Amino acid sequence: MPFIPHTETDVKQMLASIGVSDIEALFDEIPAELRIGSLDKVPAGLNEMEVSRLLHERAAANPQSLCFIGAGAYEHHIPAAIWEIVTRGEFYSAYTPYQAEASQGTLQLIYEYQSMMAHLTGMEASNASLYDGASGLAEAVLMAVRANRKSKSKRILMPATVNPTYRNVAQTIVENQGITLETVDYRLDAGCIDVASLPAEPGDIAALVIPQPNYFGVLEDVNALTDWAHVHGALVIAVVNPTSLALLTPPGEWGEQGGGADIVCGEGQPLGVPLAGGGPYFGFMCCNLKHVRQMPGRIVGRTVDADGKPGFALTLQAREQHIRRSKATSNICTNQGLVVAAATIYMTLLGAQGLNSVATSSHLNTQALSEQLTAIDGVSAAFVSPTFHEFVIRLDGRKADAVLEALAAEGVLGGLNLTADYPELGEAILVCATETKSAEDLNSYREALTKVVATVKGGTA
C-alpha cells in the first residue's frame, strides 16, 4: 500500500512555510458554488488493516471458473518471467522519460516496443502507446481528420461490427468537434460488412474504420474494404487484435491495389497483461511515416551522442507539447509504461514462432469448441463466416442471460450476452477460446451447456 510519511506536525510546518492556514486554503480559488460540500454517500475511511482485509475478501469472492469471455479482454498464458521483470524497481517506479540522460533504460524499452509493434502491424511508425483500445480508436479518428488533406469533411464510416464500447468512447470524444460517425451495417448471415452494399458514390469521407477480426470474431474482407476506401479518397483506420496478426495479413499490406491501412490501433492487453477486474490496459497506434506528425503521444528514436555512442531520445512529442500547447494534436499526456513494458517482454520471450503458436492454438480451440457447442440441440452458429478465436452462438427459445447465469453456476463463464447491443441477432452469446483451454475444458463447457439448455426454458431454469 502507499505509505505517506508526513505527520500532522510536518503538514503544519509546510503550511506555515508558505503562509497558509490550512489545506482548504490551497483551493480558495475554486468558487463556492462549484464546491460539492459534504460527501454523504462516501463511506468513512478505513485504516490499513481494514483495507487489506476488505481487498482480500473481495479477491476471494472471484470465482475460479473456466472463462470463455472475450469481447476485447482475453485470457492468455503469461510466462512468469514477464511480471517478475516488470515489477522490478527500474520499471515499476520509472516515470515519463523527459530527461534522456536519466532515462536511457525506459527510452530503449519504448523504442524496442515501437519497433516490435511496427513490425507486427506492417506499419512504418508506432507511438509509445495510448490509454486503451477504445481511446486509441477515438484518437485515430481525430488523427484521420487531420491527416486526410484531400477531404474537407469530418465524416467517418464506422462499422457496426466494431466493439460497441470502442464506438461509444469514440462518439463521446469526437462528437463535440463536429465529427460524424456514420454506421456501416453488416450482413446478418455472415456477421461482416458486405462490400458490395457500400455506396458507389459515398461523397466526401475522411476515413473508413475496418475491424479485423471484428467484434463477432469474424474476419472482414479487408483487401476489398481497403481498396474501396482509397478509391474514394478515404483513409483506412484498422482496429486489430495484435495476437491475430501472428496469423493474419498485417494491416500495412491490406488491399489488392497496395497501400495498406493508413492508421492502425487496438488494445494491447493480449500481449502479456492479465485480466484484472478492468485494467490497466494500453492502446497501441501505428501509422505510415507520411502521417507521423499527426500521430498523438510520444515517439522514441535511436540516435548517437556527442561521442558517437548509440542512445535514445524523445524525437516527437505531438501531445500537449511542452511549448505551443495550442497546436497540440492530442491531450494524451502519458504512455501506459508498466503494461507496455510487460508487452515488450512478452513479445521478446515468445518471438515470432511463439506468437504464431498462441494464435494458432487459440484458433484451433475456437473451431473445436464451435463444432461441439453447435452440435447441441437448441444451439446454432449465428454466422457462416470464418473466425479467429471468437464466435457467436444463437439459443433457440432460451434467454441468453438465463443460460449464462446457469452456466456460471456450473463453473463456466460461458461468454458475453449480445442481446443489448445487437438485438437483431436474438438471444445470442459471444464465445471465446484461447490457447489456455485444454480439450477437457472444451468438453466441460459442452457438457455444462448441454445440461443447461435441457433445463432452461424460455428464460428460467
Whose CA is closest to 142, among 359, 273, 342, 291? 291
CA distances (Å), 159 to each of 58, 136, 190, 207, 450, in order? 38, 16, 14, 12, 34
Residues 162, 165, 169, 175, CA torsion sign:
positive
* Residue ranges of domains in the chain: 66-73+352-455, 80-346
Q: Letter for the amino acid at 89?
A: G
Burial class (CB in 10 A: 0-12, 13-18, 19+), 115: middle
What's the whole-model pTM score? Answer: 0.88
Query: Which pLDDT belongs to residue 363?
Result: 98
212-233: b (≥16 Cβ within 10 Å) or e: bbbbbbbbbbbbbbbbbbbebe
Task: Give the per-residue pLDDT at 36.
Answer: 83
Distance, CA of 8 to CA of 28 (rounded, Å): 21
Cell 438485438, residue located = 423
pLDDT digits (tens, 9 = 90+) for 155-166: 999 999 999 999
Question: 3-state SS of the chain?
Answer: CCCCCCCHHHHHHHHHHCCCCCHHHHHCCCCHHHCCCCCCCCCCCCCHHHHHHHHHHHHHHCCCCEECCCCCCCCCCCCHHHHHHHCCHHHHCCCCCCCHHHCHHHHHHHHHHHHHHHHHHCCCEECCCECCHHHHHHHHHHHHHHHCCCCCCCEEEEECCCCHHHHHHHHHHHHHHCCEEEEECCCCCCCCCCHHHCCCCCCCCCEEEEEECCCCCECCCHHHHHHHHHHCCCEEEEEECHHHHHCCCCHHHCCCCCCCCCEEEEECCCCCCCCCCCCCCCEEEEECHHHHHHCCCEEEEEEECCCCCEEEEEEEECCCCCCCHHHCCCCCCCCCHHHHHHHHHHHHHHHHHHHHHHHHHHHHHHHHHHHHHHCCCCEEECCCCCECCEEEEEECCCCHHHHHHHHHHCCEECCEECCCCCHHHCCEEEEECCCCCCHHHHHHHHHHHHHHHHHCECCEC
Distances (CA, A) of 109 to 133, 139, 333: 21, 23, 19
Q: What b/e string do you get for 177-188 counting C-beta neighbours within 10 Å, with b at 16 or more?
A: eebebeebebbe
320 with 296: CB under 8 angstroms? no
pLDDT lower than 70: segments of the chain? 1-3, 94-96, 317-327, 333-335, 458-461
Closest CA to 267 of 143, 129, 390, 388: 129
Rounded CA-CA distance 129/110 in Å is 9
pLDDT of residue 460: 61
Q: Note the pLDDT of residue 42.
A: 86
Secondary-structure class of domain 80-346 per CATH: alpha beta
Cell numbers given for 89: 524497481
- Closest by Cα among 270, 275, 262 to 241: 270
Q: What is the pLDDT of residue 182?
A: 96
With beta carbons less than 8 A apart as the criterion, state whether 237 and 144 touch: yes
* Domain spanning 66-73+352-455: CATH superfamily: Aspartate Aminotransferase, domain 1 (3.90.1150.10)
As a whole number of angstroms, the distance between CA 273 and CA 340 comes to 9
Q: Which of 124, 86, 65 minimizes the C-alpha distance to 290?
A: 124
Strand partners, 267: 283
pLDDT at residue 1, as a whole number? 46
